[in-house]
Amino acid sequence: MSAANLSYWEHQSFFGPADVAIIGAGLVGLTAALYLKQRRPGWRVVVLERGALPSGASTKNAGFACFGSISELIEQEKRGDLEAVVAARYAGLARLRELLGDAALDYQPVGGYELFRHEEAALAGECLEKISYFNNLLAAITGHRRTFRDASAEAGRFGFRGVGTLLKNEAEGSLDAGRMMRTLLTRTWAAEVPVLTNCAVAALETAPNGQHLLRLANGATIETSQVLLATNAFATELLPELAIVPGRGQVLVTEPLPDVRLPGTFHYDHGYAYFRQLPDHRILLGGGRNLDFGAEETTEPGLTPTVQHYLENLLHDVILPGQRLRIDYRWSGVMGFGPALAPIVDWVRPGVLAAVRCNGMGVALGAGTGWRAAEKLSAGQRN
Ligand SMILES: Cc1cc2nc3c(=O)[nH]c(=O)nc-3n(C[C@H](O)[C@H](O)[C@H](O)COP(=O)(O)OP(=O)(O)OC[C@H]3O[C@@H](n4cnc5c(N)ncnc54)[C@H](O)[C@@H]3O)c2cc1C
């Protein structure tokens, strides 16, 4: 589309001045748009998305409705207020389910497992010892007295090879990330918020009167009173001062395996690897970023032999031992990480709010982050 060729009608209905322009149509940007329209129905809100579809992590993730396995929580507790972070993840999932409904998400309360191989006995022992500690910490958050339990006795029924310890998280679930995003897009348009795809924002300028001008890569411009930056791992392209580091995640999906029964979501290697069975009996398996943090610290899409071989070996050696399977899908997506576990939801320039950096757990944190962004935008900036 050439900017010069925009019609009067396109200017009026799609590219006209906005009260709030949201950059990025991921889970955070779209939930923010919906919550903002609930609070300010009369405001003109527009979402600008670079891809033909939303093309960040929200359409590339594993669909785990999770809030941390025990080995992850042990590590994350060293970084700050764990209780607040886990509460935000849990509340974010509840908010997402309330907003879209379990049927639209295909939310399944399957429970999650963390598995430890025999050679990881020391780590498994440390995690087993921490069960009651984390159950006490999480009781008020999840409403379960025993969120975690030792499920090692069930290890045999899954057929894993070399797995000695299995911990279960009763409050974890799974969802369909594609349906989540399709429903969000439909709902956003239905709320009279245009989601303009193939509209990369190339520059963000602020006029002396405080109005912002978004220059799109296709030559069009949009004037707006406030901006929400919801571009996650890509945020530093427009605001280099933000403390965000990209982390690419690679995923594969097998051919359908009608005889496989793996109900649940599964975490391995401190949460760096994860797998689950999909409704059509395929296995989705992802992770391995920790094998080469340097190479995966990129916003470029891509697959590497290191990570792909690791995932395939994990599949053949541990998850479905001895089986050689066809891999039908492979992809990558990019997460946004930073020094703190909590997302950034802050004014970063006058009239410009950033809602970014869900640290690889945005299915859980996304709707709450969008909600907080809408709350701030609807109040306007006061400093
Ligand atoms: C492989 C993988 C597996 C994951 N699994 C899980 C999981 O199981 N559970 C979980 O809780 N979390 C998971 N996550 C993390 C979760 O998906 C993310 O935290 C969440 O989707 C982030 O949402 P977002 O809206 O902040 O960002 P994104 O979904 O990344 O959205 C940002 C959007 O901004 C757009 N954009 C960027 N720059 C511009 C620009 N200049 N102009 C216009 N648009 C732009 C992008 O195209 C993109 O659509 C996973 C992530 C990955 C990559």
Instruction: Go through the domains of the chain in sequence order and give each one's CATH number.
Output: 3-59+178-243+340-379 (3.50.50.60), 245-261+279-335 (no CATH)
What percentage of the chain reaches a pLDDT higher than 70? 98
Least confident window among 25-29, 66-70, 123-127, 155-159: 155-159
**How far is 215 from 223, CA to CA, in rounded Å?**
9
Ligand 1 atom nearest residue 233's Cα: 30
Residue 373, C-beta contacts closer than 8 angstroms, at least 6 positions apart: 28, 32, 35, 36, 228, 230, 345, 353, 355
> Ligand 1: which residues within 6 Å by Cβ?
23-29, 48-51, 54-58, 60-64, 66, 200-201, 230-234, 237-238, 249, 251, 286, 333-335, 356, 358, 360-364, 366
Distance (angstroms) between ligand 1 centre and the Cα of 159 equals 33
Residue 138, C-beta contacts closer than 8 angstroms, at least 6 positions apart: 86, 144, 147, 148, 171
So what's the pLDDT on residue 39? 98
Tokens of 134: 């984390």
The residues that bridge with 149 in the sheet, in sequence order, are: 168
So what's the pLDDT on residue 155? 87
Ligand 1 atom nearest residue 332's Cα: 1
Region 178-206: what's the mean pLDDT? 97
Ligand 1 atom nearest residue 360's Cα: 15
Residue 145's CB is within 10 A of a number of other CB atoms, namely 10
So what's the pLDDT on residue 81? 85
Ordered DSSP codes for 181-219: HHHHHHHHHHTT--EE-S--EEEEEE-TTS-EEEEETTS
How would residue 5 be classed by pLDDT, with cut points 50, 70 and 90? confident
Distance (angstroms) between ligand 1 centre and the Cα of 148 equals 28
- The tens digit of pLDDT for each residue in 129-159 reads 999 999 999 999 999 999 999 999 988 899 9
**How far is 248 from 266, CA to CA, in rounded Å?**
20
Q: Residue 149: left if φ>0, alpha if ψ -120 to 50, beta else—which one? A: beta
Ordered DSSP codes for 248-300: EEEEEEE---TT----SEEEETTTTEEEEE-TTS-EEEEE-GGG-HHHH--SS
**How far is 343 from 347, CA to CA, in rounded Å?**
13
- The tens digit of pLDDT for each residue in 197-214 reads 999 999 999 998 899 999
- The tens digit of pLDDT for each residue in 274-327 reads 999 999 999 999 999 999 999 999 999 999 999 999 999 999 999 999 888 999
The bridge status of strand 18-23 relative to strand 221-229 is parallel
So what's the pLDDT on residue 324? 86
Amino acid at 118: H
So what's the pLDDT on residue 1? 47
**How far is 43 from 311, CA to CA, in rounded Å?**
47
- Give, as one character, the DSSP assignment of residue 342: S
Q: Name the residue with the closest Cα to ligand 1, atom 46.
A: 56
Count the alpha carbons within 13 Å of 346 in the hemisphere toward its beta carbon.
10
In 3D, which of 126, 366, 143 has the Cα closest to residue 270? Answer: 126
Average pLDDT, the chain: 95
